[in-house]
């Protein structure tokens, strides 16, 4: 494979995803109304992206629009969701972080994105990348994080102290630890994984017999409200 193969593949994929052939996706149109523009990054099913799409379409997020959806995974259902709703969507291979982040930065700037939403985005973003978008990148994490994002414990509403579950498999980590309560958190992204200041958060009781799947499903239902609330808060 030549060093250009990745590029060529990428453009082909973009062709497939866009109505146009071989060019950049349609550039954003200037409108009279200043809008609060989201760039949503997904790696998987994109149910949180869908929650944002639904909230915008049902006018629960006035003045907010999704300018661009990006996925590092060509098979992400989130890309299909974007496509179904005629949103600009881009596949971004993530073989070399520096190169991919440089492209991502260009796209986010080209599309005048005000807020970057990591909605099930499974790649770690570097401190250099984040420094270009201060307080403009948010993430949804399926566990409880303390207000300032740091620390290794969290005190639940009933006064119980539980560990903070960060990184992959946070839902399973909560089950393995035998805690009675977990939750989901929307927070600003900092270079430390799942450790940024909290925007909003909600607790959920773990039920007898819960599996990672059943618990994650309940968490996602609340994430869909949380992410909309977080965007509303930041857009106002
Ligand atoms: C969510 O549970 C979120 O907390 C985590 O990844 C999951 C993404 O789900 N970061 P979806 O792709 O939005 O359905």
Q: How confident is the model at residue 4 (pLDDT cuts 50, 70, 90)?
A: very low
Ligand 1 near 142 CB (within 6 A)? yes
Judged by DSSP in three states, 91 sits in strand
Taking the model in full, what pTM does it have? 0.88
Q: Are strands 198-205 and 181-188 parallel, antiparallel or unpaired?
A: antiparallel
Judged by DSSP in three states, 115 sits in strand
Q: Residue of the nearest CA to atom 7 in ligand 1?
A: 120
pLDDT for res 187: 98
CA distances from 233 to 53, 70, 115, 117, 199 (A): 17, 23, 12, 13, 8
Q: How confident is the model at residue 59 (pLDDT cuts 50, 70, 90)?
A: very high
Please say if the pLDDT value at position 10 is more than 50: no
Q: What is the DSSP letter of 165?
A: -
Per the document, the length of the chain is: 236
d(CA 87, CA 188) in angstroms, rounded, equals 24
Ligand 1 near 48 CB (within 6 A)? yes
Of all atoms in ligand 1, which is nearest to the CA of residue 118?
10
| Rounded average pLDDT over 140-155 | 98
Tell me which of 141, 187, 216, 224 is the catalytic residue. Answer: 141
| Rounded average pLDDT over 33-37 | 83
């Amino acid at each position: 494979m030549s060093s250009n193969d990745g590029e060529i593949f990428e453009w082909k994929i973009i062709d497939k995803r866009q109505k146009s052939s071989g060019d950049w996706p349609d550039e954003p149109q200037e409108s009279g109304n200043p809008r609060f523009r989201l760039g949503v990054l997904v790696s998987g099913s994109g149910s949180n992206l869908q929650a944002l799409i639904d909230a915008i379409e049902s006018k629960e997020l006035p003045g907010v629009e999704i300018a661009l959806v990006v996925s590092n995974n060509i098979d992400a259902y989130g890309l299909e969701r974007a496509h179904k709703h005629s949103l600009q969507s881009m596949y971004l291979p993530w073989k070399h972080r520096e190169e991919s982040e440089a492209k991502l930065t260009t796209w986010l700037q080209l599309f005048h994105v005000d807020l970057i939403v990591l909605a099930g985005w499974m790649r770690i973003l570097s401190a250099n990348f984040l420094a270009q978008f201060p307080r403009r990148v948010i993430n949804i994490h399926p566990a409880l994080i303390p207000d300032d994002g740091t620390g290794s414990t969290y005190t639940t509403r009933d006064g119980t102290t539980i560990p903070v579950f960060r990184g992959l498999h946070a839902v399973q980590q909560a089950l393995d630890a035998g805690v009675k309560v977990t939750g989901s958190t929307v927070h600003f992204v900092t270079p430390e994984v799942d450790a940024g200041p909290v925007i909003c958060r909600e607790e959920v009781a773990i039920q007898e017999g819960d599996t990672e799947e059943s618990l994650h499903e309940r968490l996602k239902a609340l994430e869909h409200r949380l992410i909309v609330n977080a965007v509303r808060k930041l857009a106002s």
